[in-house]
Amino acid sequence: MAEPSVLAVFAHPDDESISAGGLLARSAAAGARTAVVSATWSQGSVRARELAEAVRQLGVEEAPGMLGYADAEVPESAPGSPRLVDAHLDEVVRALVTHIREFRPDVVVTHDAYGGMTGHPDHVQTYRVTLLAAQAAGLEQLYPDAGAPWRPEALYLATHPESVVAGLRDVVGARRAVHGVPDEQITERLDVTPWLDRKVAAILAHRTEVERGAVPGLVAAAAPEARAALLSTEWFIRCTPGPATTVEVRPR
């Protein structure tokens, strides 16, 4: 059986590597069609170039897609475009539906409802947009000019269980927000140790974030054991129906 194709949709360049880099590296290594879409930053920006290098480190051959909206905290990230959080929801959903219908993934991965560990407003908005787009992409009456309908078989939310929040806070610092969901909501736990080196290399490719001391900067400064504690497991919530045997995210 062919490995399921995976489309990762995250808010900013670096979120894909931090939240699902192990899954993406595993899928690419297994020969699955794998791609990344970033909701913010424009093509040609330094962050877009860093994203291209990060996905290369993960082994993803597909060039990353960019929706091209501005970061909520960096309006100059996409000159001439609105901030993602200010953009018309229907317009953003249409843009992502186009990517889904073009790539035709079996699995879509995005942030959880909290917006992941940090709860950034762009993360939360990307979660909303991706939920809507994953459903809309399969409805031929919606956005007929955005390509032939395609319904992904599963949508997974990258998250953290509450049981690991205290440990994560020890790594990222008490002043940084760390959100988690009740442990019983976790449907998939992925040990990404075999792909940890690729994941770390991808995170460090986001040099702008390394230099400003964001999570990639913490990874750069951390000892190997601290990196492993922070990055060697990825957790997901499956929130759409579909035959589990065709979209399994656990390592074989």
Judged by DSSP in three states, 131 sits in helix
**Residue linked to tokens 């060039």:** 63
Determine the pLDDT at residue 245: 39
Among 57, 52, 49, 18, smallest CA distance to 36 is for: 52
**Residue linked to tokens 């990307």:** 126
Among 160, 105, 129, 102, smallest CA distance to 40 is for: 129
Measured between alpha carbons, how far is residue 155 from residues 5, 162, 169, 240 in Å? 12, 21, 27, 5
β-strand partners of 111: 158
What is the secondary structure of 180-234 as a DSSP string? -B-GGG--EEEE-GGGHHHHHHHHHT-HHHHHTTSHHHHHHHS-HHHHHHHHSEE
- For the chain, the structural domain boundaries read 6-246
Per-residue pLDDT of the chain (252 residues; tens, 9 = 90+): 678 999 999 999 999 999 999 999 999 999 999 999 999 999 999 999 999 999 999 999 999 999 999 999 999 999 999 999 999 999 999 999 999 999 999 999 999 999 988 889 999 999 999 999 999 999 999 999 999 999 999 999 999 999 998 887 777 766 677 889 999 999 999 999 999 999 999 999 999 999 999 989 999 999 999 899 889 999 999 987 544 434 455 544
Q: Reading across the β-sheet that carries 107-111, which strands appear in turn?
A: 65-69, 34-40, 6-10, 107-111, 154-159, 233-238, 188-191
CATH fit for domain 6-246, picks 3.40.50.10320, 3.40.50.300, 3.40.50.720, 3.40.50.1580: 3.40.50.10320
Distance of alpha carbon 52 from the chain centroid: 14
Rounded to two decimals, the pTM is 0.93
Among 109, 95, 107, 79, smallest CA distance to 39 is for: 95
Alpha-carbon dihedral 105, 178, 216, 64, rounded to 10 degrees: 20
d(CA 123, CA 84) in angstroms, rounded, equals: 10
Determine the pLDDT at residue 1: 67
Measured between alpha carbons, how far is residue 180 from residues 7, 56, 173 in Å? 23, 29, 15
Determine the pLDDT at residue 252: 41
| 11 neighbors 18 (Cβ within 8 angstroms) | no
Determine the pLDDT at residue 175: 61
Cα diameter, the chain: 52
